[in-house]
Amino acid sequence: MTTVNIISLNKTYPNQPVPVLKDFSLSINDGEMIALLGPSGSGKSTLLKLITGIERPDSGDIQFDGSSILSIDPNKRGAVLMFQQSYLFPFLNVEDNIGFGLKVQGASAETIRGEVKRMLNLIGLPGIERRKSGQLSGGEQQRVALARALVTNPKLLLLDEPLSSLDTSVRMNLQEAIRNIQRELGVTTIFVTHDLGEAMAMSDRMALLLNGEIVALDKPENLFHRPRSLTAAKFMGVSTFLSGDQLTVKNEACSSSEKIFAIRPEHIRIQKEACKNSMLGVVSDCVFRGEYIEYQVDVNDVTVRARMPMPAPMFPHGEQVRVNFPQEHLFEVN
Amino acid sequence: MTTVNIISLNKTYPNQPVPVLKDFSLSINDGEMIALLGPSGSGKSTLLKLITGIERPDSGDIQFDGSSILSIDPNKRGAVLMFQQSYLFPFLNVEDNIGFGLKVQGASAETIRGEVKRMLNLIGLPGIERRKSGQLSGGEQQRVALARALVTNPKLLLLDEPLSSLDTSVRMNLQEAIRNIQRELGVTTIFVTHDLGEAMAMSDRMALLLNGEIVALDKPENLFHRPRSLTAAKFMGVSTFLSGDQLTVKNEACSSSEKIFAIRPEHIRIQKEACKNSMLGVVSDCVFRGEYIEYQVDVNDVTVRARMPMPAPMFPHGEQVRVNFPQEHLFEVN
Amino acid sequence: MKRITAYSLRAVLYFILIAPLLLFAAYAFSTRWFFPQPFPVEWTTITFLRAINDSRTLSSMAQGIWIAILVSVLSLMLALPAARVQGLREFRGRQLAWLLLFLPTIIPPLAIGMGLNILFLRIGLAGTIAGVVLAHIIPTLPYTIFTLSSAFARFDENYEFQALALGASPWQIFLKVTLRMMTPSLVVATLFAFLISWSQYLLTLLIGGGQIITLPILLFSAASGGNPSTIATLSLLFVAPPVMVIAFTARSLSQHDNEIREQY
Amino acid sequence: MKRITAYSLRAVLYFILIAPLLLFAAYAFSTRWFFPQPFPVEWTTITFLRAINDSRTLSSMAQGIWIAILVSVLSLMLALPAARVQGLREFRGRQLAWLLLFLPTIIPPLAIGMGLNILFLRIGLAGTIAGVVLAHIIPTLPYTIFTLSSAFARFDENYEFQALALGASPWQIFLKVTLRMMTPSLVVATLFAFLISWSQYLLTLLIGGGQIITLPILLFSAASGGNPSTIATLSLLFVAPPVMVIAFTARSLSQHDNEIREQY
């Protein structure tokens, strides 16, 4: 339905020394779901504000299907928002909440009723038209908020951490629901989150944001298994880096000339026997986390975190072990 | 320092038909950390209120080291609380917040200063005495709240979902910090949560609560790998149950006479080849979650969720596959 | 124990509030009541009926209500944008703004009235309803702005952004979202404005200059006359419209009660 | 655009609020000022100095301040428990409680005053400072309760539970936690109480019966005399203590501003 082009956006808030977005460019394909992953302050929410028109960029352009939307009034852009809170209007019931967008755009009562019904079926909550938002659970409220956003047939759906106030199980359910609905309707979507698992589960492509810039943009699988840069690798949960020649462990790259190798925590093996690519260390912590055990092993003053899937060998605190970095799981980063 | 005995507690709130706690008994060893895991409304928070004395039980007893505390004033019980929010007093700086308990108990200014310093070192935030709570991050606030609770040398530490408002990475850090501090000081602790992973990572024993009753109480490893009952298994993330004789899949037990077997999602295998204990199904969903792929496979109208560790074979939506339940991972529940 | 303390406290409070009312009723419907009789001896409705059949009484009530309604509407219209700025925005001089806001409550009505009278005589507003309404707005505005700005301080603008993204125009957002979200506070602010205007004596007297007669003015002249029954009757009439307004407010608030709780 | 609108709105508001004050100053420090002169022609400080050297002026100010302080303290003590119940608890009849709470603001001071006068004459409180203070509490209480209960509605009792679990006694909790958390609202409530008592004319006149003289009473009798300079001078004196109280309030609030923001 819509391709979105964000071209060289710059935005600095008054009274702030550092720009929030720096020469920010991103192209989103028709019907694609892009996840923006980054810590708070990385510019994620500002980008959404610029797209909806709540804020204006200092320079740059935003285009829907090739034509700029910057001169269009915020309420005519067709970019709808969904926040962490549902922001359902407390004085309206579910039907009137979902129908709000159609009503202000002048649709007939019949059309609205039909569309609301269709949306309620789509979000899997048929028959709740008469309820007030206070009578809904947190997950149901977010489903209704999604329906309210999608009923206007928007060009672009913006999701600003829509699940981060929900319990884990509800969250998992809604991840599936949102992903399925988004694919069914084929609506182009930007999904902002600071949760890596969520970003990977939901998106076609992920953009990693830091200080207003994209540090990596790729499919989740590629970013997860073979991040190209040190920054991207850290984003993806990698905490162990080795300088290539001597195979010494380090948490940070110190010189730019040497080769740096990285390894995911679940690929590191803790064992008693020495083998190729293994180093001596002392177990400093060991936490049972269900499907795996997380070991912290001190190797040359650096703490290596390893995840051993169950059933795993148990090493007590203080035990001398070998930390093994299997060759096939080491990858180079720069 | 303190063993805690909770004996046959009953509590029903006025105007509510159902009791919040039903004949609730629990013994906690000296220095032990017990996790109470249960959905909202299961009576977790009520139990904490009864222990601190904010509410009174209808019947039953609570004993510290063998003597009842029910007749002791709430402010003399020595049971301190930590909530989801830090509830640091906004008008006091960090030092006065941590020293609050000592001050109202009449300690000298010198003692307080020394103890505050000791606690700040313990929580890993030395030197922040003069800061106000508004200048601290969420994680730091919770660390200070922990210090404020522990500085009075309490008999029992009560943690009421202290981490659920924090981001994942801060949360992981604080899980380790709280666990280490608790073990170092050896303070008997009750940890209330609705997050399974957190309960497993933190506790010596876990109590699963449902409707004011304990449905299971054991070490996390035992509960995770071999829950004894159907209810406990569901708590621990098991969603696939099989009736033993015919090996047919089901989500619910239907008759009480037949044997029910359960299997964890990460032990189910999805494959093309038929083998022993395998059934025919159709892939209905497939989500990439980093370390594993989550498949949903429809088998005889029942959805089986399986987690395949990476690298995993990829099966597209709609593909006919074999769902394999390895014999060694099936366990009986009742 | 706590509960009993709370209940008895409330009982005392209610007694303090209701006692004067009962005393008026006793005076209004009795003929002779002298010290040290604990209760009136003879009861009558003659004074009451005479007072409410007096055309001056009714016209003064009508005028007072009309003025109070105009004052409520105008001060809400003035207070809304000011309260929004006070409640939602951070700006330097915010403390100064609060200070100035409360000036009219401390300048005595007498002083305001005389100052305004001089001003209004020059611009021809003295002795007109418009003049009285404008004068009433001065003591009214602080309370309406205060009430609305504390509501705006809790108002979440994201509700408006939602409506904007869904295609609502600024005017639709104001009518269908902002006003609806603010309804409980608007009702309370209206109540304040109505009550302050309705019970205003000095400003009405000074600006009205004897041409604008409201119930408080009748009440004051009756007080000089000194017939307790007439005074008590007028007092009861005086209380009637406010009681109705408060009853309406209480109903609106209880209707909106659930919404408020959901909202905050 | 939005910003300009907000600024000009505030400018208009400030003008409305300050204009009467300037007018007083002009009258107080000038001798002759007649229509159509746009500004006073002769300036003088004689009237002003005469007025502030008058012992009646100073003693009336002292008495007024003393009464306002007593009223503030008493109405806070009465309002705190009532506001806590109104703000924190859910109970049936809550709407009725609000309605009754606002009764004193709608019964005209005149009516209250005369009712109370009869009562106080019987129990010997008429003409005493105690009687005037008690009378002033009636119009004061609604505003203090209203202010404090809206603060209690946002107050989180878990702060108190924390202090309790840390070993604080109920009295320590009240002093070291509850009062400290409520400070901004306590300051505002005190401001309301002080201002309402300080500017009270009718209740003081009726209950004081000529024995209790406060500045508003002097001001009113001066108004009958009709010397604009004297009136304006007394008006300026009248405004002085409230301005100081408001300035103090504004300072306290800005000190607590960060805390408030952290708290809510």
**Top-confidence residue, B44 or D42:** B44
Calpha distance C218→B217 (Å, rounded): 79
Per-residue pLDDT reduced to its tens digit, C193-203: 888 898 888 78
**Backbone conformation region of residue D115, classed left if phi is above 0, alpha if psi is from -120 to 50, else beta:** alpha
Q: D238 vs C108: CB contact, 8 Å cut-off?
A: yes
Quick check: D257 contacting B, CB < 8 Å?
no
- Contact: chain A with chain C (3+ CB pairs below 8 Å): yes
Chains in touch with B (≥3 Cβ pairs < 8 A): A, D
What is the set of domains in chain C, with CATH numbers?
56-225 (1.10.3720.10)
* Alpha carbon separation from D23 to B165, B282, D41, D42 (Å, rounded): 57, 87, 14, 15
Give which of D90, D92, D164 to mutate to test B binding, by max B Cβ within 10 Å.
D164
Quick check: C2 contacting D, CB < 8 Å?
no
Calpha distance A126→A129 (Å, rounded): 8
Per-residue pLDDT reduced to its tens digit, A170-209: 888 889 889 999 999 999 999 998 888 889 999 999 999 9
Q: Write out chain C residues lying below 8 Å of A74, CB-based.
A: 164-165
pLDDT band at C262 (very low <50, low <70, confident <90, very high): very low
Q: Write out chain A residues lying below 8 Å of B181, CB-based.
A: none
pLDDT over 90, % of chain A: 50
Scanning every residue of chain D, which has its alpha carbon at the shortest distance from the alpha carbon of C228?
Answer: D114
Give which of C154, C158, C166 to mutate to test A binding, by max A Cβ within 10 Å.
C166
Whether residue C104 is preceded by a cis peptide bond, meaning omega within 30 degrees of 0, is no
Chains in touch with D (≥3 Cβ pairs < 8 A): B, C
Q: C23 vs D199: CB contact, 8 Å cut-off?
A: no
Q: A52 vs C165: CB contact, 8 Å cut-off?
A: yes
**pLDDT score of C145 more than 90:** no
Domain ranges of chain B: 4-234, 240-333
Low-confidence ranges of chain B (pLDDT < 70): 244-258
pLDDT band at C171 (very low <50, low <70, confident <90, very high): very high
pLDDT at residue D1, rounded to an integer: 47
pLDDT band at C126 (very low <50, low <70, confident <90, very high): confident
A210: how many CB neighbours lie within 10 A of its CB? Answer: 18
* Alpha carbon separation from A229 to A9, A226, A232, C228, D101 (Å, rounded): 24, 9, 5, 92, 67
Q: Write out chain D residues lying below 8 Å of C78, CB-based.
A: 13
**Of A332, A328, A58, A38, residue with least CA distance to A194:** A38
User: A283 is written with which tokens?
Assistant: 């177990």
User: B17 is written with which tokens?
Assistant: 């038909």
Assign D259 to helix, strand or coil: helix
* Cβ(B298)–Cβ(B281) below 8 Å: yes
Please state the ipTM of this predicted complex.
Answer: 0.72
**Top-confidence residue, D35 or B25:** B25
pLDDT at residue B248, rounded to an integer: 58
pLDDT at residue C264, rounded to an integer: 33
Question: What is the 3-state composition of chain A as percent helix, strand, coil, each rounded to the nearest 5?
Answer: 30, 30, 40
**pLDDT score of C259 more than 50:** no
Quick check: A224 contacting C, CB < 8 Å?
no
pTM: 0.76
pLDDT over 90, % of chain D: 16
Per-residue pLDDT reduced to its tens digit, D77-132: 999 988 888 777 666 566 566 666 666 665 656 667 777 787 888 788 888 999 99
pLDDT at residue C70, rounded to an integer: 96
Domains B4-234 and B240-333 share a fold: no
Give the full edge-to-edge strand order of the sheet including B213-218. B79-82, B156-160, B188-193, B33-37, B205-210, B213-218
C75: how many CB neighbours lie within 10 A of its CB? Answer: 28
pLDDT at residue A274, rounded to an integer: 83
Calpha distance A216→A47 (Å, rounded): 17
H helices, E strands: number in chain A: 8, 19
Calpha distance D225→D210 (Å, rounded): 17
**pLDDT score of D57 more than 90:** no
Q: B266 vs A176: CB contact, 8 Å cut-off?
A: no
* Alpha carbon separation from A40 to A12, A37, A194, A260, B134 (Å, rounded): 16, 10, 8, 28, 17
A4-234 fold:
Rossmann fold (3.40.50)
Residues C187-217, buried b or exposed e (16+ Cβ, 10 A)? Answer: bbbbbbbbbbbbbbbbbbbbbbbeebbbbbb
pLDDT at residue A150, rounded to an integer: 93
pLDDT at residue C94, rounded to an integer: 60
Q: D95 vs C201: CB contact, 8 Å cut-off?
A: no
Q: How many interface pairs between A and C have CB atoms less than 8 angstroms apart? A: 69
pLDDT at residue D105, rounded to an integer: 62
pLDDT at residue C51, rounded to an integer: 73
Chains in touch with C (≥3 Cβ pairs < 8 A): A, D
Q: Which of A34-48, A76-90, B110-124, C108-122 has the lowest mean pLDDT?
A: C108-122
Scanning every residue of chain C, which has its alpha carbon at the shortest distance from the alpha carbon of A133?
Answer: C262
**pLDDT score of C216 more than 60:** yes
CA D22 to chain centroid, in Å, comes to 22
Q: Which of A49-53, B86-90, C253-257, D127-131 has the lowest mean pLDDT?
A: C253-257
pLDDT band at A1 (very low <50, low <70, confident <90, very high): confident
Q: Taking the CA of residue D250 as centre, how many other CA atoms within 13 Å lie in the half-sphere pointing to its CB? A: 17
Query: DSSP readout, D54-94?
Result: -HHHHHHHHHHHHHHHHHHHHHHHHHHHHHHHHHH---TTH
Calpha distance D11→D5 (Å, rounded): 10
Give the range with max mean pLDDT: A152-166, C99-113, D187-201: A152-166
CA B295 to chain centroid, in Å, comes to 27
**Top-confidence residue, C259 or B286:** B286
Quick check: C194 contacting D, CB < 8 Å?
no
**pLDDT score of C107 more than 70:** no
**Top-confidence residue, A92 or C264:** A92
- Across residues D131-142, what is the average pLDDT? 88
Quick check: C168 contacting A, CB < 8 Å?
yes
Q: Which residues numbered 68-97 in B keep a CB inside 8 Å of some CB on D?
A: 74-77, 79-81, 83, 85, 87, 89-91
Calpha distance B70→B75 (Å, rounded): 12
- Across residues D196-220, what is the average pLDDT? 84
Q: Provide the shortest C-alpha distance from residue C34 to chain D (in Å).
A: 10
Q: Write out chain D residues lying below 8 Å of B83, CB-based.
A: 158, 162
Assign C121 to helix, strand or coil: helix
Calpha distance A109→A111 (Å, rounded): 6
pLDDT at residue D184, rounded to an integer: 77
Calpha distance A251→C63 (Å, rounded): 81
Q: Which CATH number fits domain A240-333: 2.40.50.140, 1.10.3720.10, 3.90.1150.10, 3.90.76.10?
A: 2.40.50.140
pLDDT band at C205 (very low <50, low <70, confident <90, very high): confident
- Across residues A75-94, what is the average pLDDT? 91
pLDDT band at D260 (very low <50, low <70, confident <90, very high): very low
Of B196, B266, B289, the CB nearest to A201: B289
pLDDT at residue A187, rounded to an integer: 94
Q: Which of A134-143, A155-164, A189-198, D224-233 has the lowest mean pLDDT?
A: D224-233
User: A237 is written with which tokens?
Assistant: 């949960």
